[in-house]
Structure 1
């Protein structure tokens, strides 16, 4: 049994409790409660259209009713393949009300990725956009799908945008999909017109019943389905409430407005934007895709006070050529996740908005948040902060034994708490690898200081070993980000016949900036030990990213290996 003093509790302000008396109930009860409290307040804003809490609740009940009418029963899996739209929120809560399990599916998935996830999850129903229907139809005969529910962006657009949108869709996607209704293909609008706002409620055990199968990124091997219970998700939302204690419930005259840029099909956006907002009775500004101009306009016009995001989102806004034309002063608090937050980005964003931007930390397997800096109190730049209420964390030595490391010693971060997953779906072997004596082994390298602040130095698998030296990409990236001409940077270890691995930097320059490899190399040598300096620099127009803007380092490494294999085979 691992025991250590939770020294971080001494850093907590009086407003944040170290333990919470959790309300253990189904996740969808939060929507029912908010509809009761704030029925006519705005729940969603989408491209000019507002939807009240009562309307959102009624539509979710209609979806639950319809799903049950086509045979969905408690524990069945229903996939959602939608961007941030009203339909995504209605579907999510409707599926849960029907007693089923949500399977979040990235709308960008290829046919191969979609086939794998549908079959692995055993989903019998999928809810998708009309422009995605051809892709879904291509895989249906190879999957467990019995039904498809189809909707379109225009379904929730106000007049006259709903009439104009089909022409925009044809121009942008070169398609207008005509949906033929049948026994296994169902049209969203008709469901909402004819279904009854009532459903047969299942008996839910919040701690045991799975609410969500959330698939990991799959950067190594096949993606794994993370089993998150109703309690896993509701406990993390309640932790979020205590951490953001100045973000009051909408029972007050002021209603919170949350910018919904992070996709809800990613667990970070799902918890910190959708579930948190629904619990608090906040209004969500739905942004179906990242477009810096659209986001700046939304902030200027809709005045959100809460803006969860990722570093690349904030970087994209800060480097917009017309940034000074927009008023961003409504922003009060932002928690950045999914990737390390460069200090330069943090400081500049705070100066422009007047709000607070702090770095947090979490994983899909932890619903997702486990750590964060304090928003309004002490924070340590470069740190991921301290564990949230009821969350324990430790640094284990790298010898494979569950032995805590010394203060300041680098090891593997492990976490424990009510938000930790039940395990991987149909994968006991992988579950056993990461859940040890109740601890979730994160695979992240880090250390803890004497005050209980945690620091991530890098992913265990991303550490570069060059000529016997351990090099942490994040440290090199922080230096590159400080160069005034660099907009984005990522560092990876690429195969090297002499050093084993060598450090390569992939760099995107700011618009209008000019920088040579020699100049960047000279700069790096001034700020890094010689063995950490990149040996190769590659300038790119953009870097590959996930849906939440996390740079895909592994994809770059794979590209490099393929390139070297091709060079060898051509000799």
Structure 2
């Protein structure tokens, strides 16, 4: 039995502690299959961009994305309009066709949603690059994904150009930067999204369905080189709907209320892109973006901008529980902290809670994988078992198997 299976088996061993309001008679079936405690959801037959924008009229003037460093921001209406303008220019000026793969390499910025929805609205498929990649790592991904166009934050363009040389490819580059002159042979992102003369009727030629691929993030899991994961629109939309059930942390956006989600986890990874950016935008949540983890800007975003919903990885929880810079005021407005990507040590969670002095603070932990779109299990908001990865989301069944693919039950170990 693999170490990963042993860990998952342990995490699932307390699955029967689901509150009675959502619990089956027994979530372990007679053949040792773990069932979700939630009722199945109906997955809308929509593409990702159709799903996110279907409620745009409810919050057009609400802030959609805000930079915690520069303070530049965009409303939902602005991102919708700019993304469609970008999409039309991608088709007209770069000849993007349905299914063409477009690469994006950038740290977290408030323009990330515009880029994402611009690519999708043009019928393209987005593949996200880690901005820390070397030229050879960029080369490998652009060759595997057959990238036709790159959208890059200007700081990473030199690495991208070197990757093109190694790959012997001449791929157009769109540069994201406002305060510097353009590098040679690149197109301005800002000019493309602010083009008021582009004919948007060109978007009528786009033909994408729920079964078409939308995003290709790269994930290495625990071993090997990063592998491209082809996620369809339906994969992603299904996971969004699954998060709108008993595990939901956000409050509904209204005229008088809007939650703020801190976006410090990288958007090139599906944890940040899918769970935080895309799903929360479908609910009208405000995204507070930070380029990377730095103690000062991280704490300032919590204290000054008063984030309600925070997604972290265990080292950040450790920081909040032990750093002398952290005071109860930093966590005063935080209602929910979700931890993923690695197991959360109980001691670290307890230290953070004691530091916060916030009796209403909820800590949840999830388990997922890029191939699953990505969220698979999540603890309920009213649980305090920090060792658990929670319960399967709606429509999900799980198995823990031995080396012969035989199902194992609670606390069973393969011999």
Fold in common (TM above 0.5): yes
Q: How far apart are the structure 2 equivalents of 1:317 and 1:350?
A: 9
Q: How far apart are the structure 1 equivalents of 2:187 and 2:86?
A: 12
Paired residues of 1:296 and 1:317 also in contact (CA < 8 A): no
Confirm or deny that 1:231 pairs with 2:234: yes
How far apart are 1:287 and its partner, in Å? Answer: 0.6
Confirm or deny that 1:148 pairs with 2:173: yes
More displaced stretch, 319-328 vs 251-260: 319-328
Confirm or deny that 1:112 pairs with 2:133: no
The structure having more radius of gyration, on CA atoms, is 1
- Provide Cα deviations, 1:528-555, integer angstroms capped at 9, x if missing partner: xxxxxxxxxxxxxxxxxxxxxxxxxxxx
Confirm or deny that 1:83 pairs with 2:107: yes
- Provide Cα deviations, 1:464-518, integer angstroms capped at 9, x if missing partner: xxxxxx9xxxxxxxxxxxxxxxxxxxxxxxxxxxxxxxxxxxxxxxxxxxxxxxx
Paired residues of 1:63 and 1:191 also in contact (CA < 8 A): yes
Paired residues of 2:82 and 2:194 also in contact (CA < 8 A): no
Higher RCO (C-alpha under 8 Å, 6+ residues apart): 2
3-state SS of 1:341 partner:
coil
TM-score scaled by structure 2?
Answer: 0.85
Q: How far apart are the structure 2 equivalents of 1:52 and 1:317?
A: 30
- Counterpart of 2:188 in structure 1 is 187
Q: How many equivalent residue pairs? A: 379
The alignment yields a C-alpha RMSD, in angstroms, of 2.4
TM-score scaled by structure 1?
Answer: 0.63
Structure 2 unaligned blocks of 5 or more: 1-12, 23-36
Paired residues of 1:126 and 1:148 also in contact (CA < 8 A): yes
How far apart are 1:379 and its partner, in Å? Answer: 4.6
3-state SS of 2:244 partner:
helix
- Provide Cα deviations, 1:7-65, integer angstroms capped at 9, x if missing partner: 95882564784211221200011342243221101101113122110001111111111
3-state SS of 1:307 partner:
strand
Q: How far apart are the structure 2 equivalents of 1:86 and 1:246?
A: 22
Q: How far apart are the structure 1 equivalents of 2:14 and 2:412?
A: 16
Q: How far apart are the structure 2 equivalents of 1:36 and 1:13?
A: 37
How far apart are 1:266 and its partner, in Å? Answer: 0.4
Q: How far apart are the structure 2 equivalents of 1:243 and 1:252?
A: 24
Q: How far apart are the structure 2 equivalents of 1:62 and 1:288?
A: 25
Superposition pairs of residues 172-571 of structure 1, within 5 angstroms? 178-180=182-184, 182=185, 185-194=186-195, 196=198, 198=200, 199-201=202-204, 202-206=206-210, 208-217=211-220, 220-245=223-248, 247-251=250-254, 253-324=256-327, 326-351=329-354, 352=356, 353-354=358-359, 355-376=361-382, 378-397=383-402, 399-400=403-404, 402-410=405-413
Structure 1 unaligned blocks of 5 or more: 1-5, 156-161, 167-176, 412-469, 471-571
Confirm or deny that 1:59 pairs with 2:66: no
- Counterpart of 1:39 in structure 2 is 60
Paired residues of 1:379 and 1:385 also in contact (CA < 8 A): no
1:18 equivalent among 27, 33, 39: 39
